[in-house]
Amino acid sequence: MIFSHNSGIVYLRGLKLILALTSCVLLGFANFTNAQINELDHIEDSVIKIYTTQAAPDYFTPWRLLTPRQTSGSGAVISRNRILTNAHVVANASYVQAQKHNDPQRYQARVEFVSHEADLAIITVDEPGFFSDLQALAIGDLPEPLQEVSVYGYPIGGKTLSITKGILSRVEQQVYAHAGAYLLAGQIDAAINPGNSGGPVIVDQEIVGVVMQANAGGRAENLGYFVPPSIVRHVLADSEDGINNGFPDLGFRTQTLDSPSAKAAYGLRKDQNGVLVIKVFDGSPAENVFQENDVILKIDDYDIAEDGTIKLSEDLLTDYKHAIDMHHIGEEIVVTYSRNGAEYTAYLEAQKGLQSYGLVEGEQFDQIPEYYIYGGVLFVPLNMNLIKRWGNDWGRSAPVSLLQARNEWSSPERREVVVALQVLAADVNLGYHDWRNWVVEFVNGEQVRDFEHFSQLIKGNPEENVVFENKNGYQMVINHKEAIASEDAILAQYRIPAAHSVGLFPE
């Protein structure tokens, strides 16, 4: 083949152009890759490993602590030298440390704010310079369904940072495993292991969720859960004054109205939907506003469907409770409701839920358990801490009488359940040595309101005997003088520091 002089020049020019374009493409690819690496480094450096020594109270022997255990979790640096993590990572913590990515040193940390409801906590490190080379991550928006997300953290099985990917598969109201609150949660199709807790879920370098404990009870595989941005922002705003106000509760309970017959019975038109009020608590914002058999139609601008859901977006439905959750304490909540077919509007002030709404208080953390030993019998208030002391399978292994109390509403006459947990064998309680987990309804014929009332009834008892009685009429009789006289000997015999918990009887 013969080339002319001109064709050779064209060929060389074309070759130079191709080489130049190739160089530009390679340079652009290199710049893009470097940018990705820099972004990845920025996120990795902001993810912190958290070490905790936890010593929780033993609710079977409430004057003692359980054996301290070492745990670890993850967190992410957010604004103002704060690290966002899970509440369960630092719950009942006696010592907390933080470790940066690719830094072998551990730095002592302290807890600034905790929301056990939302399973979120804020910690910080006072060591000078700890945050100087770290960039804070911003809180982003909830991803769209089927969008890919990245999960950062330090799961068990290794010491280095782990990065996994998953798809957002579901967003709805869930029972949070840590404290049992019913809040909005996201679900991704990736297993989340111990140690990942508190780590950020990332999209476009922003935190779109905080990994939390799985709440499927071990029945679901390859699923992970996270606290979504709306809940994170609520907690961050709540933390500004350092006081945990939590999420509001208007003080009423409802059931769904799926049945057309039920709708008609409560005066709804065919085009109306809502939820039926079945309980209004004394002392709540709803008292003297709603009545049983009212139908809640709307919360603010959210219409409530017959299954109790509201529409947050075209692709997202969740329980109407979320519309209340997003308010802060003291804000006004507008509720539209129907009574006997007539429609009304009420303006309620968002208030913190009262412990007295249910007979069994939810699980508490960083608190000293209450107890009272009288005549060698250990009496305690019933709460979820005690029930969960029966182990992970507490729903099957805890006594039925204690579990049933979880489904009962409180009332002014009975706000709390008192349990005779065990009997410390002694002469004064002869005949009752094998009694345990026994619910006390009456003391000398007077109904027990709560643990404080119960304790005062015993302390101020003027009778020769104290008679404890349950709802079936079974009785335990303790001689009052013998109980007082034998107290010191029983405490010494069983190595118990005091007959009652600190603060039970204020000076």
- Active-site residue identified among 197, 338, 356, 455: 197
215 φ/ψ angles, rounded to the nearest 5 degrees: -120, 20
Give Cβ neighbours of residue 77 (< 8 Å, ≥ 6 apart).
46, 48, 83, 84, 131, 134, 135, 136, 137
Decide if 149 contacts 166 (C-beta within 8 A): yes
Judged by DSSP in three states, 320 sits in coil
487 φ/ψ angles, rounded to the nearest 5 degrees: -60, -55
Dihedral, CA atoms, 73, 76, 82, 86, nearest 10 degrees? Answer: -40
**What's the Cα-to-Cα distance from 317 to each of 18, 173, 203, 272, 413, rounded to whole Å?**
54, 9, 22, 18, 39
- pLDDT tens per residue across all 507 residues of the chain: 444 445 555 454 555 555 555 555 455 554 444 444 555 767 999 999 999 999 999 999 999 999 999 999 999 999 879 999 999 999 999 999 999 998 999 999 999 999 999 999 999 999 999 999 999 999 999 999 899 999 999 998 788 899 999 999 999 999 999 999 999 999 998 767 888 999 999 999 999 999 998 654 444 456 889 999 999 999 999 999 999 999 999 999 999 999 999 999 999 998 899 999 999 999 899 999 999 999 999 999 999 999 999 999 888 999 999 999 999 999 999 999 999 999 999 999 999 987 768 899 999 999 999 999 999 999 999 999 999 999 999 999 999 999 999 999 988 899 999 999 999 999 999 999 999 999 999 999 999 999 999 999 999 999 999 999 999 999 999 999 999 999 999 999 999 999 999 999 886
Task: Please report the pLDDT score of residue 223 as a whole number.
Answer: 82
Active site residue 88: yes
Task: Please report the pLDDT score of residue 34 as a whole number.
Answer: 45
Using DSSP bridges, classify how beta strands 182-188 and 162-175 pair: parallel, antiparallel or unpaired. antiparallel
User: CA–CA separation, 139 vs 120, rounded Å?
Assistant: 14
The CATH number for 357-493, chosen from 2.40.70.10, 3.30.1490.190, 3.20.190.20, 1.10.3720.10, is 3.20.190.20
**Where do the structural domains in the chain lie, given as residue ranges?**
47-245, 252-353, 357-493
User: CA–CA separation, 132 vs 153, rounded Å?
Assistant: 21
- Spelled out in words, what is the top-level CATH class assigned to the domain 47-245? mainly beta
Task: Please report the pLDDT score of residue 314 as a whole number.
Answer: 86
Convert 448-459 to b/e letters by CB count within 10 Å (16 or more is b).
bbbbebbbebbe
Judged by DSSP in three states, 142 sits in coil
Task: Please report the pLDDT score of residue 261 as a whole number.
Answer: 93
Residue 500, exposed/middle/buried by CB under 10 A (0-12, 13-18, 19+)? Answer: middle
- Active-site residue identified among 119, 238, 319, 325: 119
- Active-site residue identified among 46, 88, 115, 325: 88
User: CA–CA separation, 485 vs 316, rounded Å?
Assistant: 65
Task: Please report the pLDDT score of residue 20 as a whole number.
Answer: 55
Task: Please report the pLDDT score of residue 2 as a whole number.
Answer: 45
User: CA–CA separation, 471 vs 457, rounded Å?
Assistant: 18
User: CA–CA separation, 157 vs 234, rounded Å?
Assistant: 33
- In the structure encoding, which two tokens stand for residue 154, read together? 């330090």
Q: What is the CATH number of domain 252-353?
A: 2.30.42.10
Tell me the residue ranges of DSSP E strands in 176-244. 182-188, 200-203, 206-212, 224-227
Q: Which helix (H) or strand (E) holds 51?
A: strand 47-54
**What's the Cα-to-Cα distance from 293 to each of 175, 252, 345, 447, rounded to whole Å?**
26, 11, 16, 30
Active site residue 197: yes
